[in-house]
Amino acid sequence: MISHEDASELLGAYALDAVERDELTELEEHLATCPRCRAELDGLREAAGALGNSVEPPPEGLWSRISDRLGDYSGEGEEPPPMPELSVGTRQRAPFRAPSPGRTRRIRSNALLLGAVAVAASAVAVVLGIGLVRSQDNVTNLQQSIAHERAAAQRTPAEVALHTPGHRVVSLANSAHVEMASFVIVPGGRGYLISSSLPALQEGQTYQLWGFTGSTPVSLGLLGGSPHGSTFTVAGAPLTAELALTAEPSGGTVAPTGAIVASGTV
């Protein structure tokens, strides 16, 4: 067991990640039990942090690459994952100077696309959010408040929707009458994917969901190339009579160009 004196002598080096490997374990064991050393370490780390500050701008595309990988930390698809929409009010605030995050960019392009469709098809207001597939991680150091937030966020909208009075489940089948995907739609028009056996598309393609009111298709959103296990939200009013899925170039199209992969009556 390392003595308190020996441990505290190492704190400066530890704050700089300069402790030898063979001393690390003992030091970290001591830190776990010594609030005094932890407090000193926190202060030394702040000092190191001040030293380490720099003003070098990262390369342009770095945020996009980070953003694109957020979905990698996904569950295994067993349950529909939680929605970012349950998060803070900041999400509703439009003018946000995000460094061109990929996911947000996609959402925005959907919004543009949908805007065009809405004009063409007599003003249908569509709210669209794409949920991130997340998993609950093994966590150490669990902070109570955040743990509670996480727990709340684990209740998926689809689960909530399935317990909402008046919900409808819509099944989309292919031409051979095999179910390819199903959605739950709650009164008000918000819908969630609850299951999917859609095959993964090639890169550069996405599934696009269409609602038909009469003979005019209205885009309800892009589901990505591999919707299995992912969740997303579509809401449209007035609610359409029929849903259909097509495969389209990523970014989506204003009107379906591909063959209908699956469809179903609401």
Partner 1 sequence: MRDIDEVSDARLVTSIARYSEVALAEVYRRHGRAVYGLARRVLQDAGEAEDVTQEVFLRLWREPDRFDPGRGSLRSFLLAQAHGRAVDAVRSSSSRRARESREAARTARAEYDMQHEAWDLAMADQVAQAMGELSEDERRAIQLAYFDGHTYREVARVLEQPEGTVKSRIRSGLRRLRDALVDAGVRGVDA
Report the site for partner 1 in 151-170 (rule: CB under 8 A). Answer: 152-153
Give the contacts of 140 (CB within 8 A, at least 6 positions apart). Answer: none
Instruction: Name the segment binding partner 1 (CB under 8 A); options: 137-145, 157-165, 172-180, 230-238.
Output: 137-145
DSSP state of 85: G
User: Per rule CB under 8 A, is residue 121 in the interface with partner 1?
Assistant: no
End-to-end CA distance of the chain: 69
Q: Would you say 159 or 242 has its CB closer to partner 1?
A: 159
Residues 6+ apart with CB under 8 A from 125: 118, 236, 237
CA distance 188 to 183: 14
**Cα–Cα distance for residue pair 141/130, rounded to 1 Å:** 30
Tell me how far, at minimum, the Cβ of 240 lies from partner 1, in Å.
Answer: 29
Record the tokens describing residue 19, joined without a space. 């402790």
DSSP state of 72: G
Identify the residue among 2, 13, 34, 266 touching partner 1 (CB under 8 A): 13
Whose Cβ is closer to partner 1: residue 69's or residue 168's?
69
Which of 4, 29, 73, 257 lies at the binding interface for partner 1 (CB under 8 A)?
Answer: 73
From candidates 103, 105, 167, 228, binder to partner 1 by CB under 8 A? 103
Of 7, 31, 37, 83, the one binding partner 1 (CB under 8 A) is: 83
Choice between 57 and 204, CB closer to partner 1: 57
Phi, psi of 207 (to 5 degrees): -75, 140
Q: What are the tokens at 25?
A: 């374990």
Instruction: Give yes or no for residue 99 binding partner 1 (CB under 8 A).
Output: yes
* Chain residues 17-46 in contact with partner 1, contact rule CB under 8 A: 17-20, 38, 42-46
Q: In whole angstroms, what separates CA 119 from the centre of its chain?
A: 28
* From 3, 36, 49, 155, residue interacting with partner 1 (rule: CB under 8 A): 49
Q: How far is the CB of 201 from partner 1 (least distance, A)?
A: 23
- Contact between 65 and partner 1 by CB under 8 A: the answer reads yes
Per CB under 8 A, contacts with partner 1 among 218-247 are none
φ, ψ (nearest 5 deg) of residue 221:
150, 165
Cα separation, 3 vs 25, in Å, equals 13
Does position 173 interact with partner 1 (CB under 8 A)? The reply is no
